[in-house]
Amino acid sequence: MIVGIIGSGAMGSGIAQVIATAGHKVHLLDKNAQALERAAKSIKGSLRKLSAKGKLSENDAADIQDRLNFTEAHQDFGDCDLVLEAVVEDLEVKQNLFREVEMIVPEHCILASNTSSLSIASIASACQNPERFIGIHFFNPAPVMPLVEIIPAVQTREGLAEEIKDMVQSWGKLPVIAQDTPGFIVNRVARPFYGEAIRIYEEGIADIATIDWAMTELGGFKMGPFTLMDFIGHDVNYRVTESVFASFFYDPRYKPSFTQKRLFEAGYFGRKSGRGFYNYQEGAVPPAPTRDEQLGHYILNRILAMLINEAIDALALRVASKEDLELAMTKGVNYPKGLLAWADELGAQHVLATLDGLYKEYHEDRYRASPLLRKMVRENQTFFPGL
């Protein structure tokens, strides 16, 4: 199988490395020669590190590099069986790209987008044969992160999603299938991890260090929400939040915050710029959390209830199966537990009481409980009976 990747940034080059490692010839395309040169160096360095750690032989590393063709010409895609784009998150740019590519690739070639926030149906609409179009969303860094979201559009031919799932598994990844809804699984379900944490901070209930401490030390999350937002970058995280909010017809559950918007506007993107919620400049002293366990459990319970409710609502609306929802959140964003299993552990009644308490206090629609959660409580059901 011959694969074309468009865009040689961190994501595109990472995907190219994954697919070449799986044994396929890969054309990595970028119109920027310097970007291609950086990608080649990055992949070579990554393979060298894997060899040094004994995870890859020198011969295998050399074979992987031999399967990579760095090109500035779309014409090289004439023999491709799959073309996947990983360019800027701009609908018009992606549509124009596929209009051009579709004229070059063979009729059997599958066309795919790595978008994290745009409608697959909208991108596919630019194609003359949208039946062969699908979303294949990797997580950054692609060689390391195991999860891949597969998103069929309304136009995608029946059976293609399952074919892609088998293919992605053969690459050593963990695929999940999601509906073509804003944020797919991970970027939809994870929104309260950021949004509710900021809300608690804005209200003066706790500072950023204390909220991060509560979520990591008491909740078992690998990173607190503010550390994670700074790590992702507010130029990325805020834009995704804004995109999901608009795509959901301005549902208050996904409403962005002015606090993060101001960081974005100021260019305080987080680690990459030296400043975000935290100061990363040399000599800066990180703030110490208030290790108040009662406060910490309040923070954890509030954010966790919002996350669980989002996962339950995604299940109710058939965004994905319960198994794929659990896999997506544990392998895509490294949550310590699947949110539906966590709901069973805490008890649906506890989660509902937390949400209803918040709604009673604020009278905001962001705290509305999923009808499925109410049904689970009413019928005394669990998501994973017998576990």
Distances (CA, A) of 91 to 113, 251, 368: 11, 22, 32
Just list the catalytic residues.
116, 137, 149, 187
CA 136 to chain centre: 11
Q: Which residues of the chain have pLDDT under 50?
A: none
The two beta strands, 174-177 and 25-29, are unpaired
Name the amino acid, one letter, at 140. Answer: N
- Note the pLDDT of residue 278: 98
- Rounded to whole angstroms, the Cα distance separating 257 from 384 reads 35
The sign of the CA dihedral 271, 277, 283, 285 is negative
Q: Say what the pTM is.
A: 0.95
Q: Which CATH architecture has domain 183-387?
A: Orthogonal Bundle (1.10)
- Rounded to whole angstroms, the Cα distance separating 301 from 178 reads 27
Residue-wise pLDDT tens digits, 186-218: 999 999 999 999 999 999 999 999 999 999 999
- Note the pLDDT of residue 28: 98
Helices 191-202 and 225-232, axial angle in degrees (round to 10): 120
- Note the pLDDT of residue 336: 97
Domain ranges of the chain: 2-180, 183-387
- What are 310's two structure tokens? 């989002």
Angle at CA 145, nearest 5°, toward 143 and 148? 100
Contact 115, 135 (CB under 8 A): yes
DSSP string, 120-137: HHHHHTTSS-GGGEEEEE
User: Domain 2-180 falls in which CATH fold?
Assistant: Rossmann fold (3.40.50)
- Note the pLDDT of residue 41: 96
- Note the pLDDT of residue 334: 95
Angle at CA 253, nearest 5°, toward 138 and 238? 50
The two beta strands, 147-152 and 133-138, are antiparallel
Burial of 322 (C-beta count, 10 Å sphere; 0-12/13-18/19+)? middle
